[in-house]
Amino acid sequence: MTSGTGSTPATGPTPATPATGSHAPSRGASTPPATPDPATRRRGRPPRAESGDTRDRILAAARAEFSERGYEKTSVRGIAKAAGVDSALVHHYFGTKEQMFEAAIEVAFAPALKGRDAVLAGPLADAGERMTRMIFGLWENPATRTPLLAIVRSAVNNDTAAAALRRLVSAQLLRRIAGELGTEDAELRAELAAAQLVGTAMLRYVIKVEPLASADVEQVIARLAPVVQTHLTGA
């Protein structure tokens, strides 16, 4: 080992020179586009695979919000918060609050629309009883009564909600029934039959007027069905 004042101080490693071989990218060469990070996806727009589940989650949240708060106090922002999504996503799937309400009541009325087909399937001579049983069956069942109560209360208190309900009932229920009657005043007959049923249901299940509210449902049906039948097919 050599020592002394004339020794040359040690130097650090020489920095590596960038390679200039064939593997180095040339100036101006195109670079393949980077794959978008899923985290940077546009806010409020889920992947297609998730869209069905997301829509169902929003619709379930909307039904719960409308049921709990009514149409007036429910907001798109509140629905979005309950569903765990951005408000823009609610608008993307359903548009306005009114359209959201229409989608919610269509789900609530799905059993009635299925029952409509059963009402129309049999002879007109006893359609009044089938229609009466269908309507009261919905109200007697707690699973369907709760959303119906919320819809009716919203429609009573808000003109926009009432219009949405009216469009659904007219297009999906009354016109279909009227189409089977084959008379010039078929629409009026169907509406009178529906008014008889809805009015009685309001007194029994919403306002709860006694003794109607606590009367045996079979007794109510037995008295009401002939009246509904008269509206549908009577002279």
Helices (H), the chain: 48-73, 76-83, 87-94, 97-108, 110-121, 127-140, 142-157, 159-169, 175-181, 186-201, 217-233
168-198: pLDDT as tens digits = 888 778 888 888 888 889 999 999 999 999 9
Kindly state the percentage of the chain with pLDDT values over 70: 77
Considering the entire predicted model, what is its pTM? 0.67
Averaged pLDDT, 71-76 = 91
Nearest residue to 116 via CA among 40, 170, 49, 47:
170
Q: How far apart are CA 217 and CA 222, in angstroms?
A: 9
Averaged pLDDT, 41-51 = 51
Averaged pLDDT, 67-80 = 90
Is residue 130 within 8 A of residue 123, CB to CB? The reply is no
Is residue 27 within 8 A of residue 40, CB to CB? The reply is no
Q: Peptide bond preceding 15: is omega within 30 degrees of 0, i.e. cis?
A: no
Quote the pLDDT of residue 94.
92
Average pLDDT across the chain, whole number? 80
Residue 142: phi and psi, rounded to 5, are -60, -30
Residue type, 105: I
Token pair 């195109």 in the structure block, residue: 30
Averaged pLDDT, 152-161 = 86
Is residue 139 within 8 A of residue 151, CB to CB? The reply is no
Quote the pLDDT of residue 199.
92
1-34: pLDDT as tens digits = 444 444 444 454 555 454 444 444 445 455 555 5
* 39 has pLDDT over 50: no
Residues 6+ apart with CB under 8 A from 178: 186, 187, 189, 190
Most confident of 35-49, 68-82, 100-114: 68-82
Q: How far apart are CA 75 and CA 200, in angstroms?
A: 31
User: Residue 177, Cα to own-chain centre: how many angstroms?
Assistant: 25
Show the domains of the chain with their CATH numbers: 50-96 (1.10.10.60), 109-233 (1.10.357.10)
Cα-Cα-Cα-Cα torsion 181, 192, 117, 106, nearest 10 degrees, comes to: 140
Q: How far apart are CA 56 and CA 46, in angstroms?
A: 13
Name the pLDDT band for 235 (thresholds 50, 70, 90). Answer: low
Averaged pLDDT, 106-127 = 81
Is residue 173 within 8 A of residue 208, CB to CB? The reply is no
96-115: pLDDT as tens digits = 998 998 888 888 878 777 77
- As given in the structure block, the two tokens for residue 136 are 């009261």
- Going by the DSSP 8-state scheme, the letter that residue 38 receives in this structure is G
